[in-house]
């Protein structure tokens, strides 16, 4: 049997190649570094394609032509409604429960009502249909949960709005401006996929046992929640709020670095010279701050970004600017990570389908560090 030597140990699987994938490359296929989705550079996709086109690219292998996009978009718009039982549950879950925990439950419940619930886990076409339904319905579940947890009336989805505009509409009850819709759609495109990050790895490990796509997505949601991963965008906003004003930024960050505090929104396991997504989103943050006439948060963020990048050699990752972007859209901090999840579900699903199409059970080894062999003593002799 071929395979890596069992004695190679890499804490946190740092640097370990655990899969092959045709979905994303975070080294850049020309070796120049950077992020590509199925060969398209993120810089070329950003501002040019919608989240719907990006999701189609990941699920179907290439960007859609006009007819394919019309049909795919039409299926998503028709699939947005969620089961009444889930609406009831989203209203019954206590208000203090974090939206990521509610989303984890919501996707579990969606699986029970999926028309393809009895399809084989390896049924490629059924998995694509399930993925499309999750893309549509996770957005509705997040928006509905937000409103129900605040005692607000539900804002049902509108078929005349695209994915980005419809989500903002369901959350706020107002159709967003083109600027807001475009910036939100861009953030979804940038959050869609990122190779074998922890939540995607979690999804692939789960289905490598031939479990189903819904179980893989629920596992990924639970993984994304952590502040070292998707939860960082929520934590990054808390950093800015703690600082509060531009004139305190420099002293705050110097104190934090002196305390060796982990600054959320900075650093990355793979990107060591900067996250291309952060650079793209920062431009949109500056533009939106200007549009709303309040650049205070940009003036707080800049000294922090300069200090952490120069003094710790840790550039910002995607979560650092996305926190400000969502604030400018009046989105509440509690749904920052659920938004990450509703974008990433297309990437997770593509990886799950890729794993199931060419599966091998994932089962790494561990180095044993426990007590040496010892005899079992009868309970009377145990101290």
The distance of closest approach from Cβ of residue 139 to ligand SDX in the complex, given in angstroms and rounded to an integer, is 19
Residue 264 engages ligand SDX in binding (rule: CB under 6 A): yes
Residue 191 CA to residue 44 CA, distance in Å, equals 15
Residue 77 CA to residue 139 CA, distance in Å, equals 11
Among positions 361-380, residues that touch ligand SDX (CB under 6 A) are none
DSSP H or E run through 24: strand 24-25
Interface mask (CB under 6 A) for ligand SDX, residues 186-225, using x and -?
--------x--x----------------------------
How does DSSP classify residue 366? -
Residue 319 engages ligand SDX in binding (rule: CB under 6 A): yes
For ligand SDX, the closer of residues 42 and 148 by Cβ is 42
8, two tokens:
């190679």
Q: Three-state SS for 17?
A: coil
Applying CB under 6 A, which part among 147-155, 228-236, 321-329, 367-375 lies near ligand SDX? 228-236
Residue 127 near residue 162, CB atoms below 8 Å: no
Residue 143 engages ligand SDX in binding (rule: CB under 6 A): no
Interface mask (CB under 6 A) for ligand SDX, residues 11-30, using x and -?
-x------------------
Q: DSSP letter string over 58-116?
A: HHHSS---HHHHHHHHHHHHHT----HHHHHHHHHS-TTS-HHHHHHHHHHHHHHH-TT
Tell how far CA 37 is from the center of its chain: 15
How many residues sit in the footprint of ligand SDX (CB under 6 A)? 19
Q: DSSP letter string over 216-285?
A: HHHHHHHHHTSTTTTTHHHHHHHHHHHH-SHHHHHHHHHHHHHTT---TTB--SS-SS--HHHHHHHHHH
Residue 267 engages ligand SDX in binding (rule: CB under 6 A): yes
Residue 189 near residue 47, CB atoms below 8 Å: no
The distance of closest approach from Cβ of residue 268 to ligand SDX in the complex, given in angstroms and rounded to an integer, is 5
Applying CB under 6 A, which part among 111-119, 239-247, 264-272, 324-332 lies near ligand SDX? 264-272
Residue 253 engages ligand SDX in binding (rule: CB under 6 A): no
Please state, in angstroms and as integers, the Cα–Cα distance from residue 142 to each residue in 33, 139, 206, 233, 271, following that order.
34, 5, 23, 16, 30
| Binding test (CB under 6 A) with ligand SDX, winner from 104, 147, 181, 229 | 229
For ligand SDX, the closer of residues 52 and 319 by Cβ is 319
The distance of closest approach from Cβ of residue 317 to ligand SDX in the complex, given in angstroms and rounded to an integer, is 4
Residue 315 engages ligand SDX in binding (rule: CB under 6 A): no
The distance of closest approach from Cβ of residue 167 to ligand SDX in the complex, given in angstroms and rounded to an integer, is 19
Applying CB under 6 A, which part among 71-79, 144-152, 261-269, 373-381 lies near ligand SDX? 261-269
Residue 27 near residue 33, CB atoms below 8 Å: yes
Whose tokens are 């060969």? That residue is 39
The distance of closest approach from Cβ of residue 146 to ligand SDX in the complex, given in angstroms and rounded to an integer, is 22
Q: DSSP letter string over 29-40?
A: TTSS-S-EETTE
The distance of closest approach from Cβ of residue 356 to ligand SDX in the complex, given in angstroms and rounded to an integer, is 21
Residue 269 engages ligand SDX in binding (rule: CB under 6 A): yes
Residue 117 engages ligand SDX in binding (rule: CB under 6 A): no
| Binding test (CB under 6 A) with ligand SDX, winner from 228, 255, 310, 365 | 228
Applying CB under 6 A, which part among 97-105, 153-161, 165-173, 257-265 lies near ligand SDX? 257-265
What positions carry a catalytic annotation?
268, 319
248, two tokens:
């305190």
Residue 219 near residue 355, CB atoms below 8 Å: no
Residue 232 engages ligand SDX in binding (rule: CB under 6 A): yes
Footprint on this chain of ligand SDX (rule: CB under 6 A) = 12, 194, 197, 228-229, 232, 262-269, 312, 314, 317-319
């Amino acid at each position: 049997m071929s395979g890596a030597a069992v004695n190679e140990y890499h804490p946190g699987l740092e640097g370990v190649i655990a899969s092959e994938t045709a979905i994303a490359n975070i080294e850049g296929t020309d070796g120049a570094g950077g992020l590509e989705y199925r060969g398209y550079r993120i810089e070329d996709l950003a501002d040019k394609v919608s989240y719907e086109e990006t999701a189609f690219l990941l699920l179907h292998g290439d960007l859609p032509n006009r007819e394919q996009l019309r049909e795919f978009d039409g299926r998503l718009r028709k699939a947005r409604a969620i089961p009444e039982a889930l609406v009831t549950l989203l209203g019954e879950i206590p208000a203090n429960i974090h939206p990521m925990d509610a989303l984890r439950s919501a996707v579990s419940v969606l699986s029970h009502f999926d028309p393809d619930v009895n399809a084989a886990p390896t049924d490629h076409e059924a998995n694509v249909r399930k993925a499309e339904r999750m893309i549509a319905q996770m957005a509705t579940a997040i928006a509905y949960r937000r409103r129900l947890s605040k005692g607000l009336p539900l804002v049902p989805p509108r078929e005349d709005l695209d994915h980005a505009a419809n989500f903002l509409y369901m959350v706020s009850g107002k159709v967003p401006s083109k600027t807001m819709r475009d910036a939100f759609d861009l953030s979804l495109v940038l959050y869609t996929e990122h190779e074998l990050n922890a939540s995607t790895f979690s999804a692939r490990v789960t289905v490598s046992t031939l479990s189903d796509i819904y179980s893989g997505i629920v596992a990924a949601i639970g993984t994304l929640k952590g502040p070292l991963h998707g939860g960082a965008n929520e934590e990054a906003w808390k950093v800015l709020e703690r600082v509060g004003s531009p004139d305190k930024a420099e002293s705050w960050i110097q104190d934090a670095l002196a305390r060796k505090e982990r600054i959320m929104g900075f650093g990355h396991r793979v990107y060591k010279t900067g996250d291309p997504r952060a650079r793209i989103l920062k431009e949109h943050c500056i533009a939106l701050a200007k549009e709303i006439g309040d650049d205070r948060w940009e003036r707080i963020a800049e000294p922090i970004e300069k200090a952490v990048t120069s003094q710790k050699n840790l550039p910002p990752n995607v979560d650092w600017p996305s926190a400000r972007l969502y604030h400018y859209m009046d989105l509440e901090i509690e749904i920052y990570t659920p938004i990450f999840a509703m974008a990433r579900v297309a990437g997770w699903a593509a990886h799950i389908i890729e794993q199931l199409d060419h599966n091998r059970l994932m089962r790494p080894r561990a180095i044993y560090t426990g007590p040496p062999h010892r005899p079992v003593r009868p309970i009377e002799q145990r101290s």
